[in-house]
């Protein structure tokens, strides 16, 4: 089973942004080897997120509408995805004319995550209409809005996002009066946001003004490669490693509750507790790697199903709505991103892009494809952390050289570990308003 991945609690907690105040087990010197990919502070910030006391001021109330829309170009929906027929996005509209901020979620996430909730609150409080959208790697988007079904191509995914945005904006209630359009995104959504703005610069259908990237990858595939490595180092590449992690977590969680007066466990408590029992860098790394692996499983499955590549799904006998997916999840959970690339992504795109090679496909997924626009257009901004674990030093240097003063680099925060923080939000709003003058 999927989250059979042992620590599904823990991955769910990381994904949901559960924010326990501190590790439950006393932190001593770590005995596990460091992963070498990020330091302890970065790993912990990535897992725990911004402490609630450091969150930027938020408005008292934010109205919210859920919009479900069927897109005219949607591909036939495989039976097992029956619930993902329509694209779901969320809108918070001001009562008076206002600029629209479109926010794109991170890899594998939907358009209503806790991170998006923070951004929505801050943007609505600053006077924006806010439209939050899922990542093009979220299964609901792949099924309802992707023109290929094979997610991960930066340009194609962003084109699909751009088309979906046009449809959504055309169907917004008439009382929503838009004076300007800006775009933001975090993690993979940051790269998508920038590419969408560059597409709009050519096509001019939405007139997107400014783009702010929050913790963007420079190369999707090298970032995923780093996370694959994190998984291999902290968990291992076989089922045995996953089983070990699960058993360790189970015993620690059970021991917490065995010595507690509380016996009935609330839904959110168990998620918070799961992150609180982590002790070593290796365990923090495992939590982060697992979170990405789970997102990848959905992308891998959907891609294989749509492309008919037969990596985990028999194209002649695709699973039906009531079928058990246990065998497929067991197969998927040990598969790294590199295998998605070689068995699904590359075969699909090599057949459709004349003269392409695996190397050219990798190159096409770097932010460099819009490098000229990023260098010369003053309306692109970015925020990142010097210890963001999805970037290596050359990639950070590339961002600094490309964006210059339009890049804010914070000392600490890991990957998205300071999203919602007072400084991050204040700088983001300054960037969107064109008030940003330089480093924090």
Question: Does 303 interact with another protein (rule: CB under 8 A)?
Answer: no
Phi-psi group of 299: left, alpha or beta (phi > 0 → left; psi -120 to 50 → alpha; rest → beta): alpha
User: Could you say which residues in the range 268-287 bind another protein, by CB under 8 A?
Assistant: 270, 272, 276
Q: CA torsion sign, 32 to 35 to 39 to 42?
A: negative
Stretch that binds another protein, among 293-301, 335-343, 348-356, 411-419 (CB under 8 A): 293-301
User: Is 239 or 392 the residue whose CB approaches another protein more closely?
Assistant: 239
Q: Which of 28, 29, 31, 52 binds another protein (CB under 8 A)?
A: 52
For residue 173, state whether it binds another protein (rule: CB under 8 A). Answer: yes
Segment (H or E) for 100 = strand 98-104
Q: Is residue 373 at the binding interface for another protein, with CB under 8 A as the rule? A: no
Q: Which C-beta is closer to another protein: that of 125 or that of 225?
A: 125
292 binds another protein (CB under 8 A): no
Among 40, 117, 147, 356, binds another protein (CB under 8 A): 117
58 sits near another protein (criterion: CB under 8 A): yes
> Contacts with another protein in 188-217 (CB under 8 A)?
none
**Per CB under 8 A, 423 contacts another protein:** no
Indicate the residue among 21 and 394 with the shorter CB distance to another protein.
21
Q: What gap in Å lies between CA 384 and CA 393, rounded to an integer?
A: 12
Binding status of residue 247 toward another protein by CB under 8 A: yes
The residue range among 295-303, 338-346, 351-359, 397-405 that interacts with another protein, by the rule CB under 8 A, is 295-303
- By C-beta, is 204 or 322 nearer to another protein? 322
**CB distance 7 to 287 below 8 Å:** yes
Q: Is 55 in the site for another protein (CB under 8 A)?
A: yes
CB of 225 to another protein, least distance (A): 23
- The answer to the question of residue 131 lying near another protein (CB under 8 A) is no
Q: Token digits for 311?
A: 């990596």
Q: Could you tell me which residues come within 8 angstroms of residue 6 by beta carbon, excluding any fewer than 6 positions away?
A: 242, 243, 244, 245, 246, 247, 249, 250
From the list 161, 171, 244, the residue with the least C-alpha distance to 208 is 161
DSSP 240-293: HHHHHHHHHHHHHHHHHHHTSS--S--HHHHHHHHHHT--SHHHHHHHHHHHHH
Task: Find the binding residues for another protein in span 12-31 (CB under 8 A).
Answer: 12, 19-22, 24-26
From candidates 83, 127, 238, 411, binder to another protein by CB under 8 A: 83
Q: DSSP of 117-128, one letter per residue? A: HHHHHHHHHTT-
CB of 329 to another protein, least distance (A): 6
Position 76 contacts another protein (CB under 8 A) = no
Of 59-67, 207-215, 385-393, 408-416: span binding another protein (CB under 8 A): 59-67
> What is the residue-wise DSSP string for 165-224?
HHHHHHTS-TT--EEEEEEEEETHHHHHHHHHHHHHHHH-SS-EEEEEEES--SBHHHHH
The torsion of the CA quartet 302, 305, 309, 313, rounded to 10 degrees, works out to 110
Query: Which CB sits closer to another protein, 242 or 289?
Result: 242
Residue at token pair 């400014």: 210
Which pair of tokens denotes residue 188? 């993979």
Q: Is 306 in the site for another protein (CB under 8 A)?
A: no
Q: How far apart are CA 421 and CA 384, in angstroms?
A: 13
Q: How far is the CB of 61 from another protein (least distance, A)?
A: 5
Task: For residue 297, state whether it binds another protein (rule: CB under 8 A).
Answer: yes
- Residue 117 or 166: which CB sits closer to another protein? 117
Which distant-in-sequence residues (6+ apart) come within 8 Å of 263 by Cβ?
Answer: 257
Tell me whether residue 35 or residue 50 sits nearer to another protein (CB atom): 50
Residue 57 lies near another protein (rule: CB under 8 A)? yes
Task: Name the DSSP class of 149.
Answer: S
């Amino acid at each position: 089973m999927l989250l059979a991945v042992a620590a599904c609690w823990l991955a769910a907690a990381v994904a949901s942004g559960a924010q326990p105040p501190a590790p439950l087990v006393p932190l001593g010197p770590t005995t596990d080897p460091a992963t070498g990919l990020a330091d302890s502070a970065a790993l912990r910030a990535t897992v725990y997120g911004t402490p609630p006391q450091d969150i930027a001021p938020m408005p008292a109330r934010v109205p919210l509408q859920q919009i479900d829309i069927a897109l005219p170009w949607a591909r036939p929906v495989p039976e097992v995805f029956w619930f993902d027929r329509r694209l779901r996005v969320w809108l918070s509209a001001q009562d008076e004319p206002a600029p629209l901020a479109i926010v794109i979620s991170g890899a594998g996430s939907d358009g209503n995550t806790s991170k998006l909730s923070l951004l929505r609150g801050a943007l609505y409080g600053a006077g924006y209409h806010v439209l939050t959208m899922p990542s093009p790697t979220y299964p609901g988007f792949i099924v309802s809005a992707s023109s290929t079904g094979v997610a991960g191509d930066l340009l194609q995914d962003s084109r699909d996002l751009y088309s979906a945005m046009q449809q959504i904006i055309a169907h917004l209630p008439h009382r929503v009066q838009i004076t300007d359009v800006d775009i933001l995104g975090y993690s993979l959504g940051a790269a998508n946001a920038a590419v969408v703005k560059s597409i709009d610069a050519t096509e001019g259908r939405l007139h997107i003004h400014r783009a702010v990237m929050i913790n963007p990858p420079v190369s999707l595939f090298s970032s995923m490669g780093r996370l694959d490595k994190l998984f291999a180092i902290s968990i291992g590449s076989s089922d045995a490693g996953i089983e070990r992690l699960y058993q360790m977590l189970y015993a620690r969680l059970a021991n917490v509750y065995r010595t507690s007066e509380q016996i009935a466990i609330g839904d959110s408590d168990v998620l918070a507790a799961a992150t609180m029992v982590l002790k070593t860098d290796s365990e923090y790394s495992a939590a982060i790697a697992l979170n990405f692996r789970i997102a990848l499983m959905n992308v891998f499955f959907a891609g294989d199903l749509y492309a008919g590549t037969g990596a985990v799904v028999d194209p002649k006998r695709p699973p039906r709505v009531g079928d058990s997916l246990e065998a497929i999840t067991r197969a998927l959970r040990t598969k790294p991103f590199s295998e998605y690339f070689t068995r699904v992504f590359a075969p699909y795109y090599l057949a459709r892009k004349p003269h392409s090679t695996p190397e050219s496909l990798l190159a096409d997924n770097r932010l460099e494809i819009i490098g000229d626009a990023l260098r010369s257009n003053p309306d692109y901004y970015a925020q990142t952390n010097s210890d963001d674990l999805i970037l290596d030093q050359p990639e950070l240097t590339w961002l600094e050289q490309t964006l210059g003063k339009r890049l804010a680099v914070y000392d600490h925060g890991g990957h998205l570990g300071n999203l919602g923080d007072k400084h991050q939000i204040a700088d983001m709003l300054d960037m969107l308003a064109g008030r940003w003058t330089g480093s924090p």
